[in-house]
Amino acid sequence: MRNQCASRTMAPRWWLLILCLAGNELHGRAQLDSRGFINIDCGLQGEESYVNDETKLVYVSDAGFTNSGTPYNISAENYRPWRSRNVRSLRSFPDGVRNCYTLGSLVSGLKYLFRATFLYGNYDGLNKRPATFDLYIGVNFWMVVNMSWWGLDQDNTATVEAIIVVPRDLVQVCLVNTGGGTPFISGLELRPLKMSLYPQVTAEVRLFLLRRRNFAAINGTIIRFPDNPYDRLWYPRSDATMWAEMTTTERVDDVNGDEFEAPMAVLQTVIKLLNTSGSIKFGWEVAPELNNVSPGPGYLAVLHFVELELLGGDALRQFNISVNHDESWVPGYTPLGFLRKAYVYNKFTNPRDSSYIVTIKATANSMLPPIINAYELFSVIATTNVGIESQDGNQFN
């Protein structure tokens, strides 16, 4: 059964929305696990489900979530033992402009993290140049997935994440062929979030992850479930030429009303500059995958700090956090006391610069070098058609 949205013409994006009003959809089988997670291994065949070695979460085949496309395995020469099993198989969509996965049994008005994963792995044996296609959540453009942006350093695997408030109990994630090759998808995951997390996210505003980094990760591993109950992926970041690493096994204090709930394992590792000169820097470019979004996106940066050293009475650690040349973002910041969790964040709306550098630099008064545990960077995107999506009987989202 082909989705009626399918059409061979390359239509502008707004046209697709109209076409899809008439589309049929699967009524998303209830596939939530006991935590409300949905774990789909796209293209999985030969078995219905399996337990992921690392997280112990159960992954299911995508058969009940989409009614189009063709399952494939990546080619044998692309098999790597360290890769998550999720990327060994995939579903490819040679037919139709728009093909969708329907996720059901959600709770309308609640906040969810969506994650989609893509690895080409020469599944078609053609060794083609990487595909480029568009991704939507319901009627909302999510991003361009241009596989050539995910190079060897990311193991050629694209992992994209969005945090949204779902307008209905049923949400479609759609791949749209824009003439850049056959769309495909390896994995699709959904995790419910507490409403109090990421308060920037509302029915009108979504966050798309640009980067989430955990400094000084032990053994350079990605922190995720069960260390992080929401199964966010915290990627390791280290550089011994610039930073010393510190770790603790002691508990980091919780804070009331924590809006980001960085996991304990992330907060137990920190980098510090080798000395008080120089600075810790990281940054981002205006996301090319969102260049179709109008008005242009804003950004949200969240920085996590925990003091892991028991400091003597007058030993001051103090730093300025600046973005580009804005010294006044967070001047004279001192992390809270020993093992106390803290974060700072800022929303950059109507950005004019095309790239951003966050600089963390000791103040003249500081006796100790700056530290940081982790950071998260997001694009902040307005939801389109909030009204339309909430109409009853509407056939798409």
Ligand X SMILES: *[C@@H]1O[C@H](CO)[C@@H](O)[C@H](O)[C@H]1NC(C)=O
Residues in touch with ligand X (CB under 6 A)? 45-46, 71-73, 89, 132, 146, 148-149, 180, 218-219, 242, 274-275, 277-278, 320, 327-328, 331, 361, 363-364
Q: Using the minimum distance from each CB to ligand X, give the nearer residue, 204 or 327.
A: 327
Q: How far is the CB of 147 from ligand X (least distance, A)?
A: 8
Tokens describing residue 358? 């966050």
Q: Using the minimum distance from each CB to ligand X, give the nearer residue, 149 or 298.
A: 149
Q: How far is CA 116 from CA 22, 42, 143, in A?
A: 26, 10, 11
- In our burial notation (b when 16+ CB lie closer than 10 A, e otherwise), range 383-396 reads bbbeeebeeeeeeb
Q: Using the minimum distance from each CB to ligand X, give the nearer residue, 34 or 328.
A: 328
Task: Please give the full DSSP string across 24-39, using - where no structure is assigned.
Answer: ----------TTS-EE
Q: Using the minimum distance from each CB to ligand X, give the nearer residue, 7 or 75.
A: 75
φ/ψ region of 329 (left if φ > 0, alpha if ψ in -120 to 50, else beta) reads: alpha
Report how far Cα 252 is from the mean position of its chain's Cα atoms: 25
Q: How far is the CB of 251 from ligand X (least distance, A)?
A: 16
Q: Using the minimum distance from each CB to ligand X, give the nearer residue, 86 or 320.
A: 320
Sheet holding 70-73, edge to edge: 70-73, 89-92, 184-185
Q: Using the minimum distance from each CB to ligand X, give the nearer residue, 180 or 296.
A: 180
Residues contacting 265, CB < 8 A, separation 6+ = 218, 223, 227, 228
Q: How far is the CB of 316 from ligand X (least distance, A)?
A: 13
Residue with tokens 């995939």: 90
Q: Using the minimum distance from each CB to ligand X, give the nearer residue, 39 or 61.
A: 61
Neighbours of 24 (CB within 10 A): 13
DSSP 221: P
Which residue is closest to ligand X by CB?
Answer: 46
Q: How far is the CB of 278 from ligand X (least distance, A)?
A: 5
Residues contacting 254, CB < 8 A, separation 6+ = 341
Contact criterion met (CB below 8 Å) for 396 and 172: yes
Q: How far is the CB of 285 from ligand X (least distance, A)?
A: 11
Mapped onto helix, strand or coil, the DSSP state of residue 265 is: helix
CA-based nearest residue to 118, from 80, 146, 77, 142: 146
Q: How far is the CB of 265 from ligand X (least distance, A)?
A: 8
Q: What is the sign, positive or negative, of the torsion defined by CA atoms of 387, 392, 394, 397?
A: positive
CA distance 250 to 264: 9
CA distance 29 to 107: 14
Q: How far is the CB of 262 from ligand X (least distance, A)?
A: 17
Q: How far is the CB of 325 from ligand X (least distance, A)?
A: 11
CA distance 198 to 263: 14
Q: Using the minimum distance from each CB to ligand X, give the nearer residue, 9 or 277.
A: 277
Phi, psi torsion values for 22, nearest 5 degrees: -95, 0
Residue with tokens 């749209």: 176
Q: Using the minimum distance from each CB to ligand X, give the nearer residue, 97 or 170.
A: 97
Q: Using the minimum distance from each CB to ligand X, give the nearer residue, 166 or 362.
A: 362
Q: How far is the CB of 183 from ligand X (least distance, A)?
A: 12
Q: How far is the CB of 114 from ligand X (least distance, A)?
A: 22
Q: Using the minimum distance from each CB to ligand X, give the nearer residue, 46 or 257.
A: 46
Residue type, 182: T
Contact criterion met (CB below 8 Å) for 104 and 17: no
Q: How far is the CB of 223 from ligand X (least distance, A)?
A: 10
